[in-house]
């Protein structure tokens, strides 16, 4: 991401964001509500056009070379969206097809298994609970085995069991070489999984370092956790 800006009329959602996420990295994007995290993810995903700047995914520009960029990108949207006309398996087959993949059932089965969706494979999307729908969203982002996986608050409103299962699976994907970009409000999750973290505030990056360095930089009365660091940085930087 190079100098990414986004304006909606008078509102400046992003004011020049430059970050290079490294290949194979588990990267966290943190910030309070309205900081611009989802806008940034939407620009990476091609759902929003930047007002200035450019983003590329493994060398493919997300606008000029959007087909290549999108094939390498799997995005789990924050909103719990689904198509009520289809079952879980149909949804995943359709999503594979959108990426030009057929006969993808072996991988679809594997993804469903890891997300504990096997029993719901033939259930209509409408009949699923919120947590189950969230799992399908994750599965949809993974059908084309993207090199880069973007998770926009994947554990919002999700029970402990799924959270643990999900993190196990995502860590495995990361070990297998997938780059992970995560936004979350659960800072302990970011602390546990992310190697590097960028903190956004009012559309600007106010901190960017390894999780270790961020924790070490905080001189407080007790051993710091990421929440201390986050609050310290948010309060010590100007609006």
Partner 1 sequence: MTGFATLLVKELLRFWKVAFQTVGGPVLSALLYLVIFAQALGAHVRVFEGVPYTAFLVPGLVMMTVLQNAFANSASSLIQSRITGNMVFVLLSPISPAEFFAAYTLASMARGLVVGLGVLAAAAGFVELPAVAPAWALAFALLGSALLGVLGLLAGLWAEKFDQIAAFQSFLIVPLTMLSGVFYSIRSLPPAWQAVSHLNPFFYMIDGFRYGFFGASDVAPAASLAVVAVSLAVLSALALQLLRKGYKLRT
- Which parts of this chain interact with partner 1 (CB under 8 A)? 8, 42, 45-49, 66-68, 70-71, 73, 75, 77, 79, 81-86, 94-100, 102, 140
To the nearest whole angstrom, how small is the minimum distance from the Cβ of residue 58 to partner 1? 14
Residue 77 or 154: the one with the smaller Cβ distance to partner 1 is 77
Helix (H, G, I), strand (E, B) or coil at 146: coil
| Contacts with 90 (C-beta within 8 Å, 6 or more apart), sequence order | none
Q: What letter would DSSP give residue 120?
A: G
Residue 98 or 118: the one with the smaller Cβ distance to partner 1 is 98
To the nearest whole angstrom, how small is the minimum distance from the Cβ of residue 69 to partner 1? 8
The 10 Å CB-count burial string (b at 16+, else e) for 128-151 is beebbbbbbbbbbbbbbbbbbbbb
Q: Which tokens in the block code for residue 29?
A: 């994007």
Residue 22 or 98: the one with the smaller Cβ distance to partner 1 is 98
Residue 87 or 195: the one with the smaller Cβ distance to partner 1 is 87
Distances (CA, A) of 100 to 80, 91, 106, 203: 24, 14, 16, 35
- At 197, which helix (H) or strand (E)? strand 196-201
Residue 3 or 97: the one with the smaller Cβ distance to partner 1 is 97
To the nearest whole angstrom, how small is the minimum distance from the Cβ of residue 96 to partner 1? 8
To the nearest whole angstrom, how small is the minimum distance from the Cβ of residue 207 to partner 1? 27
To the nearest whole angstrom, how small is the minimum distance from the Cβ of residue 71 to partner 1? 6
- Whether the Cβ atoms of residue 19 and residue 198 lie closer than 8 Å to each other: yes
- Whether the Cβ atoms of residue 141 and residue 75 lie closer than 8 Å to each other: yes
**What is the spatial distance between Cα 211 and Cα 167, in angstroms, rounded to a whole number?**
17
């Amino acid at each position: 991401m190079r100098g990414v800006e986004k304006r909606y009329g008078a509102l400046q959602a992003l004011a020049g964001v430059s970050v290079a996420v490294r290949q194979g990295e588990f990267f966290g994007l943190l910030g309070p509500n309205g900081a611009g995290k989802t806008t940034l993810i939407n620009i990476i995903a091609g759902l929003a056009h930047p007002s200035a700047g450019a983003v590329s995914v493994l060398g493919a520009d997300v606008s000029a070379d959007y087909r290549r960029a999108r094939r390498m990108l799997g995005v789990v949207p924050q909103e719990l969206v689904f198509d009520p006309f289809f079952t879980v398996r149909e949804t995943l087959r359709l999503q594979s097809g959108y990426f030009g993949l057929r006969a993808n059932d072996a991988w679809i089965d594997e993804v469903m298994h890891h997300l504990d969706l096997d029993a719901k494979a033939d259930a209509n999307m409408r009949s699923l609970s919120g947590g189950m729908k969230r799992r399908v969203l994750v599965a949809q982002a993974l059908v084309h085995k993207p090199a880069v996986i973007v998770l926009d608050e994947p554990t919002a409103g999700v029970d402990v069991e799924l959270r643990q299962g999900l993190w196990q699976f995502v860590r495995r994907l990361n070990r297998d070489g997938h780059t992970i970009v995560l936004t979350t409000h659960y800072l302990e999750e970011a602390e546990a999984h992310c190697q590097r973290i960028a903190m956004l505030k009012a559309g600007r990056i106010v901190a960017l370092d390894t999780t270790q360095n961020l924790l070490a930089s905080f001189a407080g009365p007790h051993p710091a956790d990421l929440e201390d660091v986050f609050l310290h940085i948010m309060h010590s930087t100007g609006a």
